[in-house]
A and B are shown apart, each in its own frame.
Chain A
Amino acid sequence: MPHRPTRKRKKSEKIHKALGRFSRRPRAAGRSGQWKIQRRHIWSALGVLTVLFVAYVIYLDFVVREQFASKRWAIPAHVYARPLELFVGLPFSPDRFAKELLSLNYRYAYPAKDPASYQREADNFELTTREFRFWDAQEPSRAIRVEFTGGVVTALKDRTSGKDIDLMRLDPAFIGGIYPAHHEDRILLKYADVPLLLPQTLIAIEDRKFLTHHGVDPRGIARAVWQNLKAGATEQGGSTITQQLVKNFYLTNERSLWRKFNEVIMALLLEAHYEKHEIMEAYLNEIYLGQDGQRAIHGFGLASRFYFEKPLNELSTAQIATMVAMIRGPGYYNPEKHTKRLLLRRNLILDTLAEFQIISKAEADRAKREELGVIHERRSGTTDYPAFMDLVQRQLREYYHDEDLSSEGLRIFTTMDPVLQSDLQGIVQKRVELLDKQRRLNGKLQVAAVITSINPSVEVLAMVGDRNPRFAGFNRVIDAARPIGSLMKPAVYLTALSQPTKYNWLSPLDDSTLTLKSPDGQVWSPHNYDNQSHGSVAMISALTHSYNLATVRLGMELGFPAILDTLHRLGVKREIQPYPSTLLGSTEMTPIEVLQMYQNYASGGFQSPLRAIREVLNSQGEPLRRYPIEVQKTFDPEAITVLNTGLVQVVENGTAKSVRAQLPKDLMVAGKTGTTNDTRDSWFAGFSATHVGVVWLGTDDNQPTGLSGSTGALRIWGDIMAKVPTTSLAFESNDKLEMHWVNPTAKQLTQAGCPNAMPLGFLKGSAPAAMVNCEGAPTQGNSHWFGNLFK
């Protein structure tokens, strides 16, 4: 009887074939014992393989469940500017208001009925605001009318009810994010909040069997293979939505059988463990939909904001179809570069939706007539304000780890004024380029500029740390420590003025040549900027003209302990050497340190922590941390007022008087110029009643620039102060302070209205009794300040 192979043997042969060379070895007659051994080995190997396979599947199952269940997308911190508070009486020009709306990406529309739309007629605006969740309350979307007269809000009405609004806030401008290393950004969606049309469209286009398959759709794969074979290229992907999610969620983009194997197993496991709506929600949040510089746009929540500046539930049918069209290749269907291609695919999708009766034919036709509607000049999520964002991150790091900042979806509310920041950037670029060209510095002139509010606390409104404000490199506002030159002088004069029995603005100072010898024999001979000595001068003249010789003599007379005490109280934390050159600003400070020193003057003897952040909220909008208003008294307010009346004269009659031409006539400001040896550093620090600004110009390699404080930094300071809606300084006599007109040449009080008279403050009882008339002859009369004559 011929030997007939049994079924079992056939199966074994197949396995042998599959196992390769070893198993293909022909059976040797008479060697049945050996075969038995081999068969045992094969079964053992198969057993091991099965165990390995099962173990691997268990591992994958663990990975799938562990990561999916605990998957918390790394949600970057989103950073916002300060919100604009609107109320009748707010000093704000209509042009500035229009810029504010642009910074918020409000669209010009007639009528302005949709959220984030506005229209303008002359100085009046009608707008519909966006709703926004603040720390303390929800600000609803409102249709409002705002009227401006003479740079002030004069009417604020609710267009729906017709009633006056006492107070409301606009939503704050988004100014950037703090991203994880992979730069993924997203806004998380909940399935329940997603318009139904989106999952319907996704299923119709990407995975028609989504609701019935178990993660993999063999027919879909077969159909895709057939279509691709017919087309001779990869036109259709057979991956289900679950597979696509697995690929994005757990795997790489590598094209290999091993990756595909994992994808299939994991898709089956995912479907076994989770509901369809959970998988769809994850897909909606995970899918990659575009690129914004380094930032990767993930999920429909962010894509909707990114491409259309709208929340998802405000998108039209055509816009939803556009986003679904981009899934296949956000680069290939880039709305800016490949508009026509994207339009064609969008329309194809709209036809498919009509074919599946998800929308009517009429709606599809109407939607096909719509333009893409993608906002082309959208605000980038990668920040335009690197210097400010740098400060924000440094302040956040006092309380948060980098990882939390880039993954926990924190919402950071900052102090930045987006319009002022934009103004400052424009001014800096223009001025620095011009000055660089004028002084032939070959592009080496650098800049640091910062402006803060001072009331109620010191909040950074705008800052620029490089001549290219968008360059995220060395932040000179925070990190460039340079000699501050004459910016030191007010501290010396404050020390003197705090001793009213000894000093006042008319005290004579000796400005003759001076040579000092240190204990080790070194000789130091300071000189004035004009290389002249001026003999005996009034203290006010020494300040306004920034005389070095008189200041050094005064400082030596006061003594270093007193000067160092003043600097310490002004908040200077650096170690200051008790050298005479310190009195002329050989001490190095960063612009932000200078600002912290000058805030004491600007806020009338009070000091606050310098803030770039007001509040931090978690991703659910719950408060995590506030940065409250804090003030500490550092000096007698009257002594500071006396100093400030002198610093006003620096601007009115001294080294900074050129800035008057840049400023509104009725704006009284105070400040001090600073120039270091050979014009290596050009500084100006100054303030109004509500703002302080510090500007530095120089080169990174410390070369002379030919720019003094008044020909360089002051120009930029003047430009920006002319733009800020700010408040003029004003001084009044009180029970501790007297205001008098003085003649600085005669070092005497004088009468109001004399040509060389200037108004100055004196602590009660410290003013000289004698006075002169306008010609300088002794007289009796009244030098008192009546009201606000100076204004």
Chain B
Amino acid sequence: MGSGVMRTGLSCLIVCGFLGGCTGVSTPPPSNGVGEPASTELPFTVPGLPLDSDKTKLITPGSQTSPAVLKLLDQARAATLSGDLQRAEVLLERAIRIEPGNPALWHYLAKVRLQQDRFNEAAGLAQKSNALSKGDKQLQADNWRIIAHARNRNGDIAGAREAQDHVDALK
């Protein structure tokens, strides 16, 4: 699968996932213009990636999320739509400072980092999200997918396989 499609899928999930307000891949967000090698060059392809919104349930920020954080998520969504991932990152960090125990926020930030090709950071954030997830299997599975993808891109094939095993176990 081409990397452009992969980015499109990720962006859409981030965009949709913030508020859970859209379904399917109806409006492809603009590319951020960064070139990326085709996934065929990857040493190992993780099943279930890219995170495709029509295959996975959308991660919502939770009913307890405060209006302050929802406002930031709304802005982060707009920033992602316009391809401004750095602004999205700043807004998500502000949201996490307000609600550090909200696992969905860590998950969103992990996805932004994945899009920015900051794989180690993406995996760390996804693991933090898992540590806070309190039995939310869908969220855990999506976080393990991020970890698997990040490890894969870092050339850690065994680590990616192990992460994928977690995804499979959570199905």
Contact = CB atoms under 8 A, between A and B. Distances in A.
B158 interface: no
A629 B96 contact: yes
Interface stretch (B13-21, B39-47, B85-93): B85-93
Contact of B120 (A455, A629, A632, A690): A632
Contacts of A623: 86
B96 A735 contact: no
A292 B141 CA distance: 58
B128 interface: yes
Given A166-B71, A167-B72, A456 B131 contact: no
Contacts of B94: 85
A88 B67 contact: yes
Nearest to B129: A631
Interface of B: 66-68, 70-72, 86-87, 89-91, 93-94, 96-98, 100-101, 106, 109, 120-121, 124-125, 127-128, 131, 134-135
B93 A629 contact: yes
A623 B86 CA distance: 10
B165 to A, nearest CB: 17
A87 B120 contact: no
Interface string A28-52: 0000000000000000000000000
* Among B109, B121, B127, B128: residue with most chain A CB under 10 A: B128
Nearest to A83: B94
Contact of A629 (B87, B109, B131): B109
B18 to A, nearest CB: 15
B68 A88 contact: yes
Nearest to A156: B68
Given A456-B96, A630-B124, A88 B66 contact: yes
A628 interface: yes
A34 to B, nearest CB: 85
* Among A604, A631, A633: residue with most chain B CB under 10 A: A631
Contacts of B72: 167
26 contacts: A85-B68, A85-B94, A85-B97, A87-B68, A87-B98, A89-B66, A136-B87, A136-B90, A166-B68, A167-B67, A167-B71, A167-B72, A456-B93, A456-B100, A456-B106, A604-B131, A628-B93, A629-B96, A629-B125, A631-B125, A631-B128, A632-B124, A633-B124, A633-B131, A690-B100, A734-B135
A781 to B, nearest CB: 27
A167 B68 contact: yes
B90 A135 contact: yes
Given A85-B94, A136-B90, A734-B134, A633 B128 contact: yes
A89 B98 CA distance: 10
A637 interface: yes
A606 B96 CA distance: 16
B93 A89 contact: no
Contacts of B97: 85, 456
A629 B129 CA distance: 13
Given A85-B98, A136-B90, A456-B100, A166 B67 contact: yes
A758 B19 CA distance: 43
Interface of A: 85, 87-89, 135-136, 166-167, 455-456, 604-606, 623, 626, 628-633, 637, 690, 734-735
Contacts of B90: 135-136, 626
B91 A136 contact: yes
B162 to A, nearest CB: 13
Contacts of B91: 136
A85 B93 CA distance: 12
B64 to A, nearest CB: 10
A448 B72 CA distance: 37
Contacts of A628: 89, 93, 121
Contacts of B66: 87-89
A633 B127 contact: yes
A632 B120 CA distance: 8
Given A136-B87, A455-B100, A632-B120, A87 B128 contact: no
A65 to B, nearest CB: 40
B107 to A, nearest CB: 13
A629 B135 CA distance: 24
A605 B96 contact: no
Contact of B131 (A85, A605, A735): A605
A631 B127 contact: yes
* Among A85, A456, A632, A633: residue with most chain B CB under 10 A: A456
A632 B126 CA distance: 10
**What are the nearest 3 A-B pairs in CB distance?**
A455-B100, A87-B68, A167-B68
Nearest to B88: A136
B101 A455 contact: yes
B115 to A, nearest CB: 14
Contacts of A629: 93, 96, 109, 125
Contacts of A604: 131
A568 B87 CA distance: 35
Contacts of B120: 632
B121 A630 contact: yes
A637 B127 CA distance: 10
A676 to B, nearest CB: 34
A734 B106 CA distance: 21
A630 B128 CA distance: 10
A594 B100 CA distance: 23
Contacts of A605: 131
A636 to B, nearest CB: 10
Contact of A606 (B68, B93, B101, B131): B131
A166 B125 CA distance: 26
A136 B94 CA distance: 11
A418 to B, nearest CB: 17
Given A629-B93, A632-B124, 14 more contacts: A85-B98, A89-B66, A136-B87, A136-B91, A166-B68, A456-B96, A456-B106, A606-B127, A606-B128, A606-B131, A626-B90, A633-B124, A633-B128, A734-B135
A88 B67 CA distance: 8
Nearest to B66: A89
Contacts of B106: 456
A648 B128 CA distance: 22
B68 to A, nearest CB: 3
Nearest to B97: A456
A166 B86 CA distance: 23
A102 B97 CA distance: 24
Contacts of B67: 87-88, 166-167
A655 B72 CA distance: 44
Contacts of B70: 166
A631 B120 CA distance: 9
A628 to B, nearest CB: 7
A192 to B, nearest CB: 29
Contacts of A135: 90
Nearest to A164: B67
A167 B99 CA distance: 13
Contacts of A456: 93, 96-97, 100, 106
Given A88-B67, A167-B71, A690-B100, A631 B124 contact: yes
Contacts of A734: 134-135
A89 B86 CA distance: 27
A789 B154 CA distance: 45
Contacts of B87: 136
Nearest to B74: A166
B92 to A, nearest CB: 9
Contacts of A166: 67-68, 70-71
B159 to A, nearest CB: 12
B134 to A, nearest CB: 7
B127 A735 contact: no
Nearest to B106: A456
Contacts of B127: 606, 631-633
A88 B69 CA distance: 11
A637 B89 CA distance: 25
A435 B96 CA distance: 40
